[in-house]
């Protein structure tokens, strides 16, 4: 059962999956919680391995960091890291070097967190970076966390959103080859992504009348059909459908001019057609405090907006800002959802036809 008292968020269990044990995930996690401040904002539950935990505590000279080794999430206590052991296999830590052992541990941690979510033991999740090559297996044939979590919770309508105080960017197509982007775009798909973004802005971010900018696909947004027809045939019709319903959805905009002139400052969020179109400018603007958020899941999932950073692993120099931002973003979205659910109990409140996908608590799974 979710904690419905915003003042008691410190008692709310926030899950963390270990990610790749040879990357910077454990480092940023431990360094962030080496100061007591963060314990005022959640009760952390780290799904991982005690020996890996101790390795990084020693390497980072954080041997005084308090932790509680548990086998049952019910035994969590506040004011320390609650470490839930997810494997009986020995994992050799080799910072900066990929290994199948680390990939297997990362997957076990994700699965353990998912199981705890399904039985209501944790309400929110921060996933530390994985190596998408070493985690692949017969049970994980996905491009990353986002698709795997959506499959696990039987969610069809979801989207990756990169968020910061300065900018929010959603993408229509995610981790697919650039050669497949154009053929993947349809009016229906873009309409679906715009709706997800609208709903998330309202119920996750508390924006009651969102204003969204939609980017074009081609250079100069197609130049009225001279450099491609996708804007005229696919993107514009999807936008027009929302305009007719009274939504503040505008575009398609040429991506270079839009970001070059800081057009994003006039909008609550931007919808990009493909991964790099949205993420390159986002990381230029908000790399250090950006957060990866999955809209559409029945629980709140955030992640730092960086990868394993093998070149920095074990050196104690990786920036922890994005990890800390992921914690606070999870808290903010969780509280916004609680408030949205309360508002929607009123007959005068805005009712979205997809609101049930953002309910708080244990997802209704088959």
Burial class (CB in 10 A: 0-12, 13-18, 19+), 364: exposed
Burial class of residue 107, CB neighbours in 10 A (0-12, 13-18, 19+): buried
Q: Is residue 206 part of a domain?
A: no
Domain for residue 44, yes or no? yes
Considering its fold, how many domains does the chain have in total? Answer: 1
Quick check: is 160 in a domain? no
Q: Note whether residue 126 is domain-resident.
A: yes
Picking from 165, 130, 176, 181, the residue whose alpha carbon sits closest to that of residue 286 is 165
- Tokens linked to 258: 């839009």
User: Is position 174 within any domain?
Assistant: no
Query: Which tens digits make up the pLDDT trace of 165-214?
Result: 989 999 999 889 999 999 999 999 999 999 999 999 999 999 999 999 99
Host domain of residue 1: 1-155+296-318
Where are any strands of DSSP class E within the chain? 13-17, 43-48, 67-70, 81-85, 124-127, 159-163, 168-171, 211-215, 248-253, 269-272, 291-295, 300-304
Q: Per the domain annotation, does 195 fall within a domain?
A: no
The pLDDT confidence band at residue 8, using thresholds 50, 70 and 90, is low
Domain membership flag for residue 268: no
Among the listed residues 207, 278, 214, 208, the one whose alpha carbon sits nearest the alpha carbon of residue 242: 214
Does residue 26 surpass a pLDDT of 70?
Answer: yes
The whole-number pLDDT of residue 112 equals 97
Q: What is the pLDDT of residue 345?
A: 64
Structure tokens at 325: 């931002």
Q: To which residue do tokens 């982007």 refer?
A: 181
222 or 113, greater pLDDT: 113
pLDDT of residue 86: 96
Predicted TM-score (pTM) of the model is: 0.88
Beta bridge partners of 47: 17, 84
103: domain CATH number is 3.40.718.10
Preceding omega of 252 cis (within 30 degrees of 0): yes
Q: How far apart are CA 203 and CA 125, in angstroms?
A: 18
């Amino acid at each position: 059962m979710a904690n419905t008292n915003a003042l008691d968020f410190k008692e709310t269990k926030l899950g963390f999956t270990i990610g790749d044990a040879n990357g910077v995930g454990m480092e940023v996690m431990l360094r962030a919680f080496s100061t007591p401040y963060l314990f005022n904002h959640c009760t952390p539950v780290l799904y991982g391995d005690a020996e890996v935990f101790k390795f990084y505590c020693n390497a980072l000279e954080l041997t005084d960091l308090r932790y509680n080794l548990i086998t049952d999430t019910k035994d969590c206590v506040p004011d320390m890291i609650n470490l839930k052991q997810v494997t009986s296999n020995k994992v050799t830590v080799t910072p900066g070097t990929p290994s199948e052992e680390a990939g297997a541990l990362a997957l076990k941690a994700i699965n353990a967190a998912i199981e705890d979510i399904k039985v209501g033991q944790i309400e929110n999740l921060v996933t530390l970076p994985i190596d998408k090559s070493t985690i692949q297996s017969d049970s994980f044939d996905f491009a990353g966390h986002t698709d795997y979590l959506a499959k696990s919770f039987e969610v069809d309508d979801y989207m990756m959103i990169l968020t910061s105080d300065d900018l929010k960017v959603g993408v229509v197509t995610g981790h697919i080859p650039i050669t497949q982007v154009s053929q993947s775009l349809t009016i229906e798909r873009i309409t679906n992504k715009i709706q997800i973004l609208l709903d998330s802005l309202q119920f996750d971010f508390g924006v009651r009348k969102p204003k969204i900018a939609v980017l074009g696909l081609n250079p100069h947004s197609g130049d009225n059909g001279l450099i491609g027809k996708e804007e005229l045939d696919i993107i514009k019709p999807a936008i027009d459908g929302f305009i007719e319903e009274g939504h503040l959805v505008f575009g398609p905009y040429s991506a270079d001019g839009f970001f070059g002139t800081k057009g994003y400052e006039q909008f609550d969020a931007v919808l990009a057609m493909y991964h790099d179109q949205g993420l390159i400018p986002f990381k230029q603007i908000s790399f250090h405090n950006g957060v990866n958020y999955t809209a559409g899941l029945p629980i709140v999932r955030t992640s730092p907006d960086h990868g394993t950073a093998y070149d920095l692993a074990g050196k104690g120099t990786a920036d922890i800002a994005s990890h800390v931002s992921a914690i606070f973003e999870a808290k903010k979205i969780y509280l916004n959802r609680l408030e949205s659910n309360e508002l929607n109990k009123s007959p005068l409140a805005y009712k979205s036809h997809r609101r049930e996908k953002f309910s708080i608590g244990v997802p209704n799974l088959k």
